[in-house]
């Protein structure tokens, strides 16, 4: 009898404990939702590109800037679009990396949203509906953008494809030699004198784990719970030794250089590995041009700005370019412009105009209050200027 009473008491305590834990989790879930705190996982494995956005996921991004991110049913960081293009519609597809994805700002403040709103003011488009569809995904290189074009963009029948090239890391991302060891991406590599695609990332144990039903189920569950998202974010933050939210760091001119993502080899092109990386990048852009032609679309290549090129202080720029004996801060833009002339596709280079604008207005076009002003991605001012420049360019190249 005594043993039965002890078991009964133990069972009652266990139920009370479980009930209390469930109640605490519910209160925590409600509180986090009221406070707008959440850290959803935005990415999943993708067989063509290594990773892609998860369809239907939404939430705030606050590590750099602050943007409400909503991914549509087709896995695009954009509003919903029908794949079938309606009559009297001029449709533009934007392919690019995190600068096009632009999770640091709200969708309405991105360059692609601004183009969609402003292009109708161009006389050539006054009788057409304008649609600008964003296919940008963070950490993409040009090979992944080609795969996006080939396997996804073509379904939307665009009239114009805008390739946004961020030379700050695209050239590195395109090279299997220069990229980090565990970069899960297709690569264009040279074998027996010919360029071919290497999709071996799909055979790695890590990729298979990321693509497994178990992992997808785990992260699907995490995305439904703010408490689980917070716990996962704490885990990731400890692993990466970062804070849950970015905080502005005050720095002086000597310290500033480390935050500008400055890679001297990008502007010199003397190292054999970088020479090959540039050759691969140019081959990928040619493939994108061929693919757009097969879709009966036009191509506009836009080179974006690197933080070091447009920091609004000439003395800083002279310091970080001069210390590496770099004579031409716009070498990447000129190289891609020359490719455009050779291949007969238009190129818009933003960095020179961005630099002039930043100097004249003493304005930071990269960076946010919760990170380092002048570093990282475009802020709202950067997107505004980029949108205006792209709109003008598209207006002039339309047949």
Give the number of residues written for the chain: 399
Closest CA relative to residue 161, chosen from 295, 342, 50: 295
Mark 278-295 as b/e (b = at least 16 C-beta within 10 Å). Answer: bebbbbbbebbbebbeeb
Q: What is the pLDDT of residue 239?
A: 64
pLDDT in tens, 106-125: 999 999 999 999 998 998 88
Task: With H, G, I as helix, E, B as strand and everything else as coil, classify residue 218.
Answer: helix
Mean of pLDDT values over 180-190 = 88
Query: Would the pLDDT of 283 be above 60?
Result: yes
- The radius of gyration of the chain's CA atoms, rounded to the nearest angstrom, is 24
The predicted pLDDT at position 251 comes to: 46
Count of other CB atoms within 10 angstroms of residue 200: 12
Residue 294 DSSP class: H
pLDDT greater than 90 at residue 363 = yes
Decide if pLDDT at 127 tops 90.
Answer: no
For the chain, what is the mean pLDDT?
A: 86
Higher pLDDT, 343 or 237: 343
pLDDT value of position 40: 79
Measuring CA to CA, which residue among 388, 305, 310, 377 is closest to residue 64?
377
- Across 32-36, 225-229, 265-269, the highest mean pLDDT is recorded for 265-269
pLDDT band at 174 (very low <50, low <70, confident <90, very high): very high
Measured distance CA(286)–CA(213) in Å, rounded: 37
Q: What is the per-residue pLDDT for 248?
A: 43
CA dihedral sign of residues 262, 266, 270, 272: positive
pLDDT value at residue 216:
77
Residue 245's pLDDT is 44
pLDDT at res. 113: 98
pTM, entire model: 0.87
Q: What is the mean pLDDT of residues 165-175?
A: 95
User: What percent of the chain is modeled with pLDDT above 90?
Assistant: 62
DSSP string of 351-368? HHHHHHHHHHHT--SB--
Alpha helices in the chain (DSSP H): 2-34, 98-101, 111-118, 142-151, 167-173, 205-210, 213-223, 226-240, 253-256, 265-268, 272-294, 307-310, 314-322, 331-343, 351-361, 380-397
For residues 133 and 313, give the distance between their C-alpha atoms in angstroms, rounded to a whole number: 35
Domains along the chain? 73-208+246-397 (3.40.50.1110)
DSSP state of 86: P
Average pLDDT over residues 267-279: 92
Q: What is the DSSP string of 243-277?
A: -SS-------HHHHGGGS---THHHH--SHHHHHH
Backbone angles phi, psi at 392, to 5 degrees: -60, -40
CA distances from 15 to 9, 11, 20 (A): 10, 6, 8
Give the model's confidence band at 103: pLDDT under 50 very low, under 70 low, under 90 confident, else very high: very high
What is residue 319's predicted lDDT score, i.e. its pLDDT?
82
């Amino acid at each position: 009898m005594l043993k039965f009473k002890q078991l009964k008491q133990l069972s009652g305590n266990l139920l009370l404990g479980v009930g209390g834990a469930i109640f605490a989790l519910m209160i925590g879930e409600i509180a986090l939702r009221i406070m707008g705190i959440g850290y959803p996982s935005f990415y999943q494995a993708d067989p063509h590109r290594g990773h892609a956005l998860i369809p239907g996921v939404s939430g705030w991004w606050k590590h750099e800037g602050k943007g409400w991110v909503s991914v549509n049913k087709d896995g695009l960081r954009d509003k919903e679009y029908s794949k079938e293009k309606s009559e009297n519609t001029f449709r533009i597809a934007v392919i690019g990396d995190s600068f096009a994805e632009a999770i640091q700002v709200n969708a309405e403040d991105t360059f692609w949203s601004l183009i969609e709103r402003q292009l109708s003011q161009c006389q050539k488009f006054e009788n057409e509906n304008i649609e600008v569809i964003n296919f940008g995904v963070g950490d993409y290189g040009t090979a992944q953008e080609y795969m996006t074009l080939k396997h996804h963009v073509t379904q939307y029948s665009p009239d114009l494809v805008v390739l946004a090239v961020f030379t700050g890391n695209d050239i590195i991302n395109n090279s299997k030699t220069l990229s980090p060891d565990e970069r899960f991406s297709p690569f264009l590599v040279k074998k027996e004198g010919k360029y071919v695609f290497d999709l071996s990332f799909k055979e790695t144990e890590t990729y298979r784990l990321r693509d497994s039903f178990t992992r997808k189920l785990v992260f699907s569950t995490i995305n439904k719970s703010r408490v689980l998202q917070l716990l996962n974010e704490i885990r990731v933050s400890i692993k990466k030794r970062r804070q849950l939210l970015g905080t502005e760091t005050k720095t002086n001119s000597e310290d500033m250089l480390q935050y500008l993502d400055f890679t001297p080899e990008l502007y010199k092109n003397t190292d054999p590995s970088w020479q090959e990386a540039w050759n691969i990048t140019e081959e990928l852009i040619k493939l994108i041009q061929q693919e757009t032609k097969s879709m009966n679309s036009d191509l506009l290549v836009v080179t974006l700005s690197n933080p070091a090129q447009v920091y609004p202080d000439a003395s800083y720029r002279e310091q970080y370019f001069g210390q590496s004996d770099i004579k031409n801060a716009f070498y990447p833009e000129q190289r891609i412009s020359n490719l455009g002339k050779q291949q007969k596709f238009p190129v818009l280079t933003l960095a020179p105009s961005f630099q002039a604008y930043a100097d004249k207005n003493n304005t930071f076009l990269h960076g946010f209050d919760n990170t380092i002003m002048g570093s990282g991605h475009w802020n709202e001012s950067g997107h505004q200027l980029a949108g205006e420049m792209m709109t003008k360019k598209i207006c002039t190249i339309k047949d």
